[in-house]
Structure 1
């Protein structure tokens, strides 16, 4: 139980039609008496007048809702004041709350942190909530909502429960081997189950980084020779002049990125320097960065001008076919052999190109059919868990050591949900939240 009661604007930037101010902590009932004149009935929207606790001056009027703990977002008593979203009105209420002894302004993510500390949500659910607030696309919304509702928590806690049960059988053999009701070699029963668990975690990890790409954005690199139309295509996709376009070859010297939605997914498209042999030191650096962008991209789009050879550079021939798309450009100047041909002058073929991109992205990312890893910390913890499980099934080791490896595997899963030793993670995780959440 926290000694201080916290408050903050929880509904976003002002001005707005409605502003929601959230108060959480042990002094909620006293705060309601001073601001509203009485404590509203639980979980029922009540019309109220908000008054200054010292002067009695009317500050605003609106709805108040009281959520008694532990059945609230934070697990504590919570009061929400829903008033008008004018800057002056909100500032007046926040100033009035600050004048009440025992209240202070909430820090970023503090409401969510209290929800975690009061066992209302685990870390994976809170990370999902953070992603839900930041979601820009339908794919991000669907994945974040699923995670915030406990899909990953249920999966990881189920695996952890299996490990705890396996350890219990082993400990029984180690500690009570002389008892009649504990048969010898009872631990032999657990190793097939551990192997099954290893395979399940391996399948979960082998997802092509689907969840991370949905969350962070699917990366596409535009590559081609100088004057292939890369910058023109980028401007056409962005529907604004992002990159400089001139007839002079080698205009683009550095990478330029834009973010956009294609279908239901976030996509980051990178324009790069034209690939060619050059003595210009700056242009060579730009070409080096272009090749690096290609190697890190989820999809490389090679622009092949209709009035030039369509040969792919040697440096790009190592890219798998499923990560490479060749399109013809400058369709207004000549006939291209490519299946997809675009002209940014007449905007021909852009719709076909975008549909092809959408199909490829959907094939790679899917539509959120199953729980997906969305953060690197999840992947790291699961890899460590899997490594410990693999050590535990080595029959040449003593049973005590195999049991210890199982314990370590369970601890790695516990760190994912926040059950074990995560103090060093909390500040990082909750810093992603805004004040009021």
Structure 2
């Protein structure tokens, strides 16, 4: 990745489309704009221009052209945008025209955002918020991502880091200039009370953010039970489309199937798994192993027991396993059972995917479960394991700093330095080169 190159990519959706947006960023953007349009461009104004090939002068398309001079652009560099017609041939012709310029090349995944980060236009939490906004599937995910992209999380962490830098400055002033009249004789009452308060704030923030992380990835709900219990039929009914193959043959689901749902604006990932039984085949045994692994990772398990089978497999063994999440028992295929058998036992729900009996009630209960277990706070919260790891490192260093009054002041000041450094790593202020490729690799080409 060479930052001196000028890069280009399709920044809009897949083709064909009504409009395609080609973004160009780098030092040759202005020259490219002049040669493609053969006309001057005013900054940040939309111009309707004929786009011509730089070698043949052939008209390739009529497009809206917008010119963003540095540094007032997304990347902080000169940026040119071509809003052309979204046919594959049109875009291919424009890409061919761009390829004739020296030191101009297609962009790599996330390279536009990486350049915005390098130019100081975004910090890492804002970059991650942008990635989450692009990937958001529900209203609550959109809101949270927008708050993070707007710098709400950075503002909190930068404020805490500034408090720690001030505390360190007071301590170092006492160490270096203890004989000076304008330096307090002891900073303990001032600094350590503030450090304790900050540690409490971070603990509260961490506890709230564990739930916010769940909002970002969605509630994981696993459908489990014996073969032919109706798991795949229920997944199709909840997803309102054919996701899984449904047959009378037992054991047709061999792998894990996932579908993302939007329940009242909340994200839910529904997982269909292989039927649990003593399997002989190698493929089915692997499917059952994956099913059990997914159940251990789930937030909620829906255990299906067909209503027409008196001795169907129960989840008793599952409930006895360690670290098992919540389990709801569903009496599936309620349309095949006698009226006496469809009476819900305590803690069970009867559903039928054929008559849709009980489905709306189940969807309502699942929506309430998601709302009860997902943070809907308007405050920016940490949403990634990376944030939580650095916050926990910061908190540990803070607790070490005020854990013992007998600890030398120099060592306590070092603990504060480590705490501030951990906060700086979240927003990318210091030493984050090793993680940049991973973070920017989440973006698609063109962003």
Select the residue among 401, 414, 427 that pairs with 2:411: 401
Is the 2:298–2:325 contact (alpha carbons within 8 Å) kept by the matching residues of 1?
A: no
State TM-score, norm by structure 1: 0.91
1:128 aligns to what SS in structure 2?
helix
Aligned to 1:130: 131
Q: 1:285 to 1:111 in 2, by over 3 A?
A: closer
Select the residue among 315, 318, 343 that pairs with 1:315: 318
Aligned to 1:246: 248
Aligned to 2:187: 186
Q: 1:290 to 1:97 in 2, by over 3 A?
A: closer
Displacement of 1:243 in angstroms is 4.0
1:340 aligns to what SS in structure 2?
strand
Aligned to 2:334: 331
Q: 1:97 to 1:393 in 2, by over 3 A?
A: same
Q: Distance in 2 between matches of 1:67 and 1:131?
A: 25
Question: CA deviation digits over 1:265-323, x for unaligned, max 9?
Answer: 332222334456x4747566655544433322111223344343796404315789983
Q: 1:167 to 1:54 in 2, by over 3 A?
A: same
Aligned to 2:435: 425
Q: Distance in 2 between matches of 1:92 and 1:254?
A: 43
Displacement of 1:218 in angstroms is 1.4
Displacement of 1:178 in angstroms is 0.9
Displacement of 1:345 in angstroms is 2.3
Is the 2:268–2:370 contact (alpha carbons within 8 Å) kept by the matching residues of 1?
A: no
Aligned to 1:219: 220
Question: CA deviation digits over 1:376-398, x for unaligned, max 9?
Answer: 11111111111111111122321
2:54 aligns to what SS in structure 1?
coil
Q: Distance in 2 between matches of 1:189 and 1:208?
A: 29
* Runs of at least 5 residues in structure 1 that lack an aligned partner in the other structure: none
Is the 1:234–1:243 contact (alpha carbons within 8 Å) kept by the matching residues of 2?
A: no
Aligned to 1:68: 69
Name the Cα RMSD after superposition.
2.6
Q: Distance in 2 between matches of 1:115 and 1:122?
A: 9
* Residue pairs, 1:25-424, within 5 angstroms: 25-207=26-208, 209-238=210-239, 239-240=241-242, 242-246=244-248, 248=250, 252=253, 254-275=255-276, 278=278, 280=280, 289-307=290-308, 308=310, 312-316=315-319, 323-332=326-335, 333=337, 334-338=341-345, 340-394=349-403, 395-424=405-434
Question: CA deviation digits over 1:400-421, x for unaligned, max 9?
Answer: 1111111111111111111101
State TM-score, norm by structure 2: 0.89
